[in-house]
Structure 1
């Protein structure tokens, strides 16, 4: 008998065949990097059907609906990679575990922005530039003192980044021309230098602005960034050093605890970037219209301010405080299952297994607690941690602890108030924001303004009805008319006075 003939190998065709059942037409969609171009579907057109509205624009091609960007790639990037199914996080190809164990925050910052780990001289230059740009104009003192005494530090920080941009006209494309930064992609050395100068400024001044937002609420004078300290040491110094007016001897007499500075450095590495999260996407969305980069970063701050993003670790602390003690954990978890309570610090939008940062931060927590003392909430946290990981309800839903579960405990142990937690998130995330912004400005294809489409489901064409002919609001449902607001204080008194004036005018 002869040998069996070899089975011919199927030739791989990186494309997708699509048949439009409305018309019977078939289309071939190219697949690149396991993705298909959404704009391709604009060419798939059909006559309007009986169930189509004119607003559906059926004849103009298909649109891709993706509420909340659940499966839409908005850019090509070489900065951060996340494998949510396997709990992998890499910066420029380097595993986060290696960077957290062996690198420093400013070294990782260089990596994220410029694409490679720096040499000794490159790191020295970058570090020098960042720290050199830490001091801020003396006018900033008046800016911060203009806020209310109880202003949230994130409101101050968001405003401060926007305020900062007003000092640097050379960084504003509205003043210097819209290709101010984008011409760097064509090799313009001056544009590239200008771009990097703004990056040095934002990273260097991030700690200064954050410290000012902290100290204004403490009623303390502001502190000039010191020399000869690392990035996180300088930050802690600016937060905690008692100024000469507080009768302390000399500007360099205070030295932050090395364990706390190192812990903060690792936390900053873990929070430096996380791919296309809400705030990074906001920075790019804003940056696509080519404002100054300070405005784009301010927009990122506003996005991170939200409790679903930067406030997650604060939510963990509030949850643990509400539980009270380890004995109350079982009842709390049962309430979570009944959807009467919310479980914070577990699960993640991207990670479907464990958050790789949570293992690193757990070790950091032990080192911090060894210095600061054991937080009473830790027993409750551990009881919740262990019970949730043994409960099939949470295991089946892949609700493992994430980075926020431990970071809030560390910040609390270090003595930071809860409303300052998002600020501690912003300071390192500025690096990720500017890395993505810089990558966008250097795109060889140029920068296009981000303009998502929508699916319009509102009314079709309606004719205007004169006011005197309207009998009531046509729309029915929640939020379809203005709320009735109760007034007090000056407004209430003025309304009463106006009513009294009308009565007197009739007498």
Structure 2
């Protein structure tokens, strides 16, 4: 294919054996543009379906984004073979040890860790925007008592969009977030503060709907995760503060899930935002994607699986049922990580600290027994599967159903668009 000189170029030489023609496809950042294959045209064969449009050029099929680069990004890097996850060049292990979730959110959005004054401003703005309009209480009470929290949260983000006309490109102009002006950046920042600040408030309200409890106003003086736990658990106790060990554990969990390249929910936000809807509608769409059991809903699927197993002594029988394809094993294996998910080690270490406070329960013992048995299994399971952050330990059980916010992107890009390279 091609000649020796052409092979030294940063191109791919492709010969179409249908026509005998050779094409030069440019290579940039180790990728080839899909549109370059439009020029590879051939006559439609006899009896070939017209919908193939063969004469209009070759198409590229990648139904699951298994090997498609959507955009160039410096936000998150994953090496699934080596079990590596980095945010803006920082190893996830380092950030989990030395940073908070809000510091990491700043890093992901703006490109660097904040200085002390920058972080104070950012934290103050986020916490200031944690309050919601009083009408929100009526909105949340309109749901059935047994409505799923993620269904409520998805609706709540869309509902919030109706309050902020200044954030809607449909009403303010298509260059609202891309003008590059001081006003454009200020508008973008304000929506960032609102989205991050109100995410935990909305999630806590969704949780309390299920509990049949009155809603709690975000307290003063607590951290981002401390405020969330307060809003979920406060029952009127004077001077109540969340346990600092649980608060730190939740903060670590938030940090670990802050970004993961172009996963399903991020892809949804990106595609929805590309139509220039308001950012709240885009985030609502991302929440709907996150809801599914093959994405964020996997956490709930694991808990349900553990409940169905019941006790540690039932694990062998469960795995036999998995071998017979009668049951599904949730929480093991990952689309990208081919070794252990690096986040799972952090979660398990964090969980050890948590369970010193809460004590262990039978579901935890069942999870540990399942982990040990599944890792040792060989016959009929064809494992090489490692636990992800879902089944490394059921840490989410400690703090209730946690709703994840898809953070907006860094300054200068469409607010609703998160970036990355793979759908995970």
Q: Hey, what's the Cα distance between the residues in 1 that align with 2:317 and 2:327?
A: 10
Q: Hey, what's the Cα distance between the residues in 2 that align with 1:397 and 1:42?
A: 41
Closer/same/farther in 2, CA of residues 260 and 394 from structure 1, 3 Å limit: farther
Deviation at 1:391, TM superposition (A): 2.1
SS in 2 for 1:16: strand
Q: Hey, what's the Cα distance between the residues in 2 that align with 1:349 and 1:440?
A: 28
What is the count of residue pairs matched by the alignment?
413
1:185-220 CA distances to partner (integer Å, 9 max, x unpaired)?
xxx110111011001001000111111111223222
Match of 1:266 in 2: 252
Matches within 5 A, 1:324-339: 324-339=310-325
1:167 and 2:163 matched: yes
Match of 1:240 in 2: 233
Q: Does structure 2 retain, via aligned residues, the 8 Å contact 1:375–1:413?
A: no
Match of 1:197 in 2: 190
Cα RMSD (Å) of the superposition?
A: 2.0
Matches within 5 A, 1:98-497: 98-184=94-180, 188-243=181-236, 248-249=237-238, 253-393=239-379, 397-406=383-392, 409-414=394-399, 416=400, 420=401, 424-426=402-404, 429-431=405-407, 434-435=408-409, 440-441=413-414
Specify every segment of 5 or more residues in structure 2 that has no aligned partner in the other structure, as ranges.
1-5, 418-424
Q: Hey, what's the Cα distance between the residues in 2 that align with 1:355 and 1:430?
A: 20
Q: Does structure 1 retain, via aligned residues, the 8 Å contact 2:37–2:57?
A: yes
1:40 and 2:24 matched: no
SS in 1 for 2:78: strand
Q: Does structure 2 retain, via aligned residues, the 8 Å contact 1:170–1:176?
A: yes
Q: Hey, what's the Cα distance between the residues in 2 that align with 1:88 and 1:398?
A: 18
Match of 2:422 in 1: none
Q: Hey, what's the Cα distance between the residues in 2 that align with 1:220 and 1:326?
A: 34
Tell which has more relative contact order, 1 or 2 (C-alpha 8 A, sep 6+): 2
Match of 1:25 in 2: 21
Q: Does structure 1 retain, via aligned residues, the 8 Å contact 2:375–2:383?
A: no
TM-score for both structures, normalised by structure 1:
0.78
SS in 1 for 2:217: coil
Range moving further from structure 2, 141-150 or 273-282: 141-150
TM-score for both structures, normalised by structure 2:
0.93
Q: Hey, what's the Cα distance between the residues in 1 that align with 2:261 and 2:412?
A: 13
Deviation at 1:393, TM superposition (A): 4.9
Q: Does structure 1 retain, via aligned residues, the 8 Å contact 2:299–2:396?
A: no
Specify every segment of 5 or more residues in structure 1 that has no aligned partner in the other structure, as ranges.
1-9, 448-507
Deviation at 1:379, TM superposition (A): 2.2
Closer/same/farther in 2, CA of residues 441 and 81 from structure 1, 3 Å limit: same
1:62 and 2:58 matched: yes
Q: Hey, what's the Cα distance between the residues in 2 that align with 1:435 and 1:225?
A: 25
SS in 1 for 2:390: helix
Deviation at 1:133, TM superposition (A): 0.5
- Bigger Rg, which one: 1
SS in 1 for 2:125: helix
From 83, 87, 103, give the equivalent of 2:83: 87
